């Protein structure tokens, strides 16, 4: 049961990361491989603010999320907007190139040595014999709070409804007067902010190293495919399910093989249910259900 709790924590982080990834996939129509490097950058920026500058973890996390959200908008304008008209394949390879560039920048700026967030675990709480640390409780709360806030934003604001319209049919939305460029900037901000938040959460739970991005892109992709890429509910369930499966599998196989579990789930879903666990038919839906 303890591993299930670990899986819920892992799944909460995975749900946050995958939502950002799926949002770009559904609205911009390509797989943004560089999203995982935004996670790595978020983890490093956060640990530098806390460890080097002595900043409170919550303040450091907020600055990291907002700052990298803005960086995502800039990267979109520089790298993706100029080639957007050339289609998803060009955008995919552009994202791979950007991921490699971001990885090189992370190596140059932060080096190869692993770093750790100091004194952020908090006390250990026990419920029915199951232990969970304060930082794990905070991660679960922040993850689901952020997801709920995104849901309210998408369903309860004009800009959120515009995002849903672009996700459903960007050409029709443009004809109807939706400010597609503003919507795109908002999408990139949210996506990058969620990636950075997931990176900080990953760093808080363990070490921060330059391979975080590459280690997690397959897992994020597996969760996105499992969730169907088009549903917040589906992504949440997929993230939790995949997180639990990976951590429970540690009882049987070494933890180093956790990505293999994610890859196995990805292959199985592609074969058995390529539209995701909650889809009922093949259609282009909005990003939320």
Q: What's 228's DSSP letter?
A: T
Residue 46 lies in a domain: yes
- pTM beyond 0.75: the answer is yes
Token output for 221: 């992709």
**Cα-trace Rg, the chain:** 18
The half-sphere exposure of 196 on its side-chain side, counting CA atoms within 13 A, is 25
Angle at 165 between CA 163 and CA 170, to 5 degrees: 95
Contact assessment for residue 255 and residue 216, using Cβ atoms and an 8 Å cutoff: no
Q: Count how many domains the chain has.
A: 1
Residue 261 lies in a domain: no
Residue 246 lies in a domain: no
pLDDT tens track for 163-212 = 888 887 777 777 888 888 889 999 999 999 999 999 999 999 888 999 99
Predicted local distance difference test score (pLDDT) of residue 108: 96
Burial of 274 (0-12, 13-18, 19+ CB in 10 A): exposed
Residue 239 lies in a domain: no
* Residue numbers of the domain that contains 12: 2-219
pLDDT in tens, the chain (289 residues): 788 888 899 999 999 999 999 999 888 889 999 999 999 999 999 999 999 999 999 999 999 999 999 999 999 999 999 998 898 899 999 999 999 999 999 999 999 899 999 877 777 788 777 888 888 999 999 999 999 999 999 998 988 988 888 887 777 777 888 888 889 999 999 999 999 999 999 999 888 999 999 989 988 988 888 887 667 788 888 888 888 888 888 788 877 777 788 778 778 877 877 666 665 444 444 444 4
Residue 237 lies in a domain: no
């Amino acid at each position: 049961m303890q591993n299930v709790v670990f899986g819920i924590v892992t799944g909460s982080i995975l749900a946050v990361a995958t939502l950002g990834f799926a949002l770009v996939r559904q609205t911009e129509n390509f797989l943004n491989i560089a999203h995982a490097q935004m996670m790595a950058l978020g983890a490093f920026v956060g640990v530098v603010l806390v460890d080097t500058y002595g900043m409170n973890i919550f303040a450091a996390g907020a600055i990291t999320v907002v700052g990298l959200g803005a960086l995502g908008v800039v990267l979109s304008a520089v790298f993706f907007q100029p080639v957007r008209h050339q289609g998803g394949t060009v955008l995919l390879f552009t994202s791979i190139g950007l991921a490699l560039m971001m990885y090189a920048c992370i190596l140059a700026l932060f080096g190869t040595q692993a770093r750790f967030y100091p004194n952020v675990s908090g006390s250990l709480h026990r419920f029915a014999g199951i232990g969970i640390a304060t930082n794990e409780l905070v991660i679960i709360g922040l993850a689901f709070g952020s997801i709920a806030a995104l849901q309210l934003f998408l369903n309860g604001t004009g800009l959120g409804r515009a995002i849903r319209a672009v996700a459903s049919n960007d050409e029709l939305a443009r004809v109807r007067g939706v400010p597609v460029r503003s919507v795109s900037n908002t999408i990139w901000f949210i996506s990058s902010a969620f990636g950075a938040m997931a990176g900080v959460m990953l760093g808080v739970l363990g070490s921060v190293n330059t391979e975080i991005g590459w280690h997690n892109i397959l897992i994020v992709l597996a969760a996105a495919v499992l969730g169907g890429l088009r549903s917040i509910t589906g992504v949440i369930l997929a993230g939790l399910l995949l997180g639990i499966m990976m951590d429970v599998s540690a009882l049987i196989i070494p933890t180093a093989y956790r990505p293999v579990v994610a890859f196995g789930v990805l292959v199985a879903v592609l074969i058995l249910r390529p539209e995701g666990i909650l889809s009922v038919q093949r259609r282009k839906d909005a990003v939320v259900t």
